[in-house]
Amino acid sequence: MSDAKTQIDETVKANDVVLFMKGNKAMPQCGFSSRVAGVLNYMGVEYNDVNVLADDAIRQGIKDYSDWPTIPQLYVKGEFVGGCDIITEMTLSGELDQLFEANGVAYDKDAAEKIREANG
């Protein structure tokens, strides 16, 4: 398991934004992963996607790494942000925008506003 932990740690630290998900950003394989990837894709965020279905050690390892039981999991600048419900709430409240701005992560502000308007 230490190999998976090392791989996860290096991935999280080497990329500004990482989404551990089922499937990939082009083809999510669960509704929760699809929702978070859809938000990031729509907002034009550049992120590294890690398909946990491709490696059981990573699939379990990311849960141990974050001490969070579910997937997807979003990391920004090495910090665990949350899963689908938290990302959805942060998107709708504007907190995700603030997190991206505070960490110098580029995103489309107009797209973020459109998400809020559509769900307001």
Q: What would the two tokens of residue 9 be? A: 């740690």
Q: Could you tell me which residues are annotated as the binding site for [2Fe-2S] cluster?
A: 30
- To which residue do tokens 């290096």 refer? 10
DSSP 8-class letter at 50: E
Measured CA to CA, the distance from residue 35 to residue 85 in angstroms comes to 10
**Domain residue ranges of the chain, discontinuous segments joined by +:** 2-118
Model pLDDT for residues 17-38, shown as the tens digit of each residue: 999 999 999 999 999 999 999 9
Helix (H) or strand (E) holding 27: strand 27-28
Q: Residue 1: its pLDDT value, please?
A: 47
Q: Is the pTM of this model over 0.85?
A: yes
Please state, in angstroms and rounded to a whole number, the distance separating the CA atoms of residues 43 and 14: 21
CATH 3.40.50.720 fits 2-118, yes or no: no
Query: Which segments are annotated as binding site?
Result: 30
Dig out the tokens for 23 from the structure. 């499937």
Residue 29 in 3-state DSSP? coil
